[in-house]
Chains A and B, each alone.
Chain A
């Protein structure tokens, strides 16, 4: 597609439940990035992929968070046993190559609310 598609737009989970978010990058883009935006500010890098390979996971919480980008499937970000502090908007972005001057295209985000 011509835009980064994130689903669902909104996700509500009770504390302790699992949450799974999906991202379809723009067709042909090799790099995918996940960011967490808390309180409408504070963009925090989580993880990036080069095709199906993890490129940089320095921002991923060690426990409970995992992510995958498998061939011919949307990328996914999964949070096991959600906590109140996981409430945020999760943005996915993709780029054609990994070049520093490459523009990142962002999706509209998934609003996760943990109650």
Chain B
């Protein structure tokens, strides 16, 4: 069983829609949760991060963590064609220079 599970999609929604991306994980030692965005032929870039259960909002993006269910989500409001990319959830245990474990990524396409 993988430590982090993510639906690969692809997911296609119309412009303006709310997008919901999700991951589940099995390792309860994970304490630090991230969402990365990866455009084609580029390295991933950090979009959002959070330590604790609950919600964190940044502009059109909201990251949600439920540690009791080992479930994390990323919501994108008012989605734009420029949001079309692969979104990877990622997590780390809380220790120095621990490796990041990535989900397999969800390919998202926003239709104009």
Contacts and interface: CB of A to CB of B under 8 A. Distances in A.
A87 to B, nearest CB: 16
Contacts of A93: 43
Nearest to B104: A41
A42 B104 contact: yes
Interface string A72-102: 0000000000000000000101010011110
Interface in A96-115: 98-101, 103-104, 106-109
Contacts, number: 61
Interface of B: 8, 31-32, 41-46, 49, 51, 86, 88, 90, 92-102, 104-105
A108 to B, nearest CB: 5
Interface stretch (A14-22, A48-56, A61-69): A48-56
Nearest to A58: B99
Nearest to A38: B104
A59 B102 CA distance: 13
Contacts of A99: 96
Question: What does DSSP make chain B's interface, helix, strand, loop or mixed?
Answer: loop
A100 B98 contact: yes
Contact of B43 (A45, A95, A100, A107): A107
Contacts of B93: 100
A104 B97 contact: no
Nearest to B92: A100
Nearest to B102: A43
A33 B98 CA distance: 10
Contacts of A26: none
B8 A41 contact: yes
B49 A101 contact: yes
A24 interface: no
Interface in A29-52: 31, 33, 35, 40-43, 45, 48, 50
